[in-house]
Amino acid sequence: MGTDKESRINQIGLTNDLGSIVIRKCTLEDLEGVISVNEKELPEDYPYFFYKSVLDNYNESFLVALNRHHKVVGYIMWRVEKVPADNSLKILNKGHLVSIAILKKWRRIGIATALLNESMKEIKKRRIHEYVLEVRVSNYSAINLYKKFGFFTKNIKYKYYRDGENAYYMIKDARENSEI
Ligand code: ACO
Ligand code: ZN
């Protein structure tokens, strides 16, 4: 059942010695699992209605990774922001990576890579001009991951996080002739 797009996402399979992983679009039933991964792995928590609004508005790029017991072990979510262009009156769409996290024991087997690959294709269909994100300057693993995907640091957002840590504001071109 479902569209071609859904079955394509459903078919992605990764295996390691802990079992097989399925990646698919998030559903309402998955949200509890997503929130649990977020609370374990990231200090930035969001209220339930925030996840729900991302799910309602950007479902195609809100993905989960499930283990063989159908437990959520990772997720990624994006939204689109409309912003004025730097040097014209045009309004541009930016694909904003809101959050990605993988449970510790499922890291380093390519789940984040698979989630990024799939979700970036989906959010790009919203005619975005660039992909953007913020990441803690101390978050070596995530910075490495984003660099691997061609993101670069545009600037530093000072004291971006509640605990006072700075963020790198990283961007990647999403226009037609760029690779992803
Ligand atoms: N050290 C160095 N590089 C790393 C590490 C690490 N511990 N983990 C991942 N990377 C980089 C590497 O380049 C890696 O490629 P390689 O394994 O071939 O060397 C590449 O990322 C891809 O690794 P994946 O296996 O796809 O990544 P993983 O599934 O382990 O997830 C993630 C990476 C999401 C950063 C994970 O470590 C995590 O959940 N961290 C805690 C939550 C977090 O920090 N999220 C990002 C916050 S910023 C935001 O959400 C916008
Ligand atoms: Zn952000």
pLDDT per residue as tens digits for the range 7-20:
444 446 665 555 68
Q: What integer is the mean pLDDT of 60-82?
A: 96
pTM recorded for the entire structure: 0.91
Q: Which atom of ligand 1 is nearest to the CA of 136?
A: 48
pLDDT of residue 2: 43
Is the predicted pLDDT of residue 25 greater than 70, yes or no? yes
The token pair that represents 168 in the structure block: 């790198």
Does 179 score more than 60 pLDDT? no
CB 96 within 8 A of CB 78: yes
Distance CA 175, CA 7 (A): 26
Q: Which of 2-11, 14-23, 33-42 has the highest mean pLDDT?
A: 33-42
Measured CA to CA, the distance from residue 90 to residue 67 in angstroms comes to: 44
Q: Which atom of ligand 1 is nearest to the CA of 42?
A: 42
**What are the residues whose beta carbon lies below 5 Å from ligand 2 (ion)?**
134
Ligand 1, atom 20: closest residue by C-alpha: 145
> pLDDT tens digits for 135-173?
999 999 999 999 999 999 999 999 999 999 999 999 999
Ligand 2 center–CA 89 separation, angstroms: 23
Tokens for 62?
């809100």
Write down the mean pLDDT value for the chain: 90
Q: Which of 107, 135, 160 to mutate to test the pocket of ligand 1 (most atoms within 8 A of CB)?
A: 107
Cα angle 168, 174, 176; round to 5? 165
